[in-house]
Amino acid sequence: MRAIEDVARIVAVSSLFETDAVTPDGSEGPPYYNAACRIETELGPLPLMRFLQSVEREIGRTPSAERWAPRPIDLDLLLYGNDIVETDELTVPHTRMAERPFVLVPLAEIAADVVHPVLNRTIAELAEEAGDAGVRRIAEAGWDGLTGDGPG
């Protein structure tokens, strides 16, 4: 998140969660850490995504032929205001976010009242429907050392 501060103002950061690996074949893998961050930036969606990918590379993520392989970091652009973006490189809102508790639980902490621009339902509603199976809070908000300005 310190790198994100180079291009954005961090408004809010969720608690930190440990979550079970999710694979399409149901196989087990190592647990992941998940959190959500709400930012304000002058970058458009595609430049922001490219910036996030550059941060992933700096941290050590390398391209893998295996889509569901463990990785040191995975930064996703879940929402961009009320924008809907569909390009070969980027889809916003994130295509599977509405069915993933590991995305929705942290996101609901910092953006409960935000309305999903395609589904026209709040993040809180989506999170309640998805449940919290496999999602365990391991650190409260503030774990990152960043305070943000609140969920404004």
Tokens of 71: 């990785």
Task: Phi first, then psi: give them for residue 7, nearest 5 degrees.
Answer: -125, 0
| Residues 99, 105, 107: CA angle, nearest 5 degrees | 95
Confidence band, pLDDT 50/70/90 cuts, at residue 151: very low
Confidence band, pLDDT 50/70/90 cuts, at residue 87: very high
- Quickly count: other Cβ atoms within 10 Å of residue 111's Cβ: 22
Mean pLDDT, the chain, whole residue set: 87
Of 11-25, 32-46, 110-124, the one with minimum mean pLDDT is 11-25
What Å distances lie between residue 121 and 38, 75, 98, 112, 151, CA to CA?
Answer: 18, 23, 10, 10, 18
Choose the catalytic residue: 71, 132, 137, 144: 71
Q: Per mean pLDDT, which of 66-70, 97-101, 141-145 is the most reliable?
A: 97-101
Asked if 61 is an active-site residue, the reply is: yes
More confident residue, 35 or 1: 35
Q: What is the pLDDT of residue 152?
A: 37
Choose the catalytic residue: 20, 61, 137, 144: 61
Asked if 136 is an active-site residue, the reply is: no
The whole-number average pLDDT for the span 107-116 is 97
Choose the catalytic residue: 9, 50, 57, 74: 74
Confidence band, pLDDT 50/70/90 cuts, at residue 67: low
pLDDT at residue 22 above 80? no
Torsion from C-alpha of 9, 10, 11, 15, nearest 10 degrees: 180
Asked if 100 is an active-site residue, the reply is: no
Choose the catalytic residue: 76, 132, 137, 144: 76
DSSP readout, 2-61? Answer: TTGGGTEEEEEE--EEEE----TT------EEE--EEEEESS-HHHHHHHHHHHHHHHT-
Asked if 149 is an active-site residue, the reply is: no
Q: Domain 4-139 carries which CATH code?
A: 3.30.70.560
Tokens of 97: 């976010």
How far is the C-alpha of 121 from the C-alpha of 141, rounded, in Å? 25
Q: What is the pLDDT of residue 146?
A: 67
Tokens of 70: 């463990």
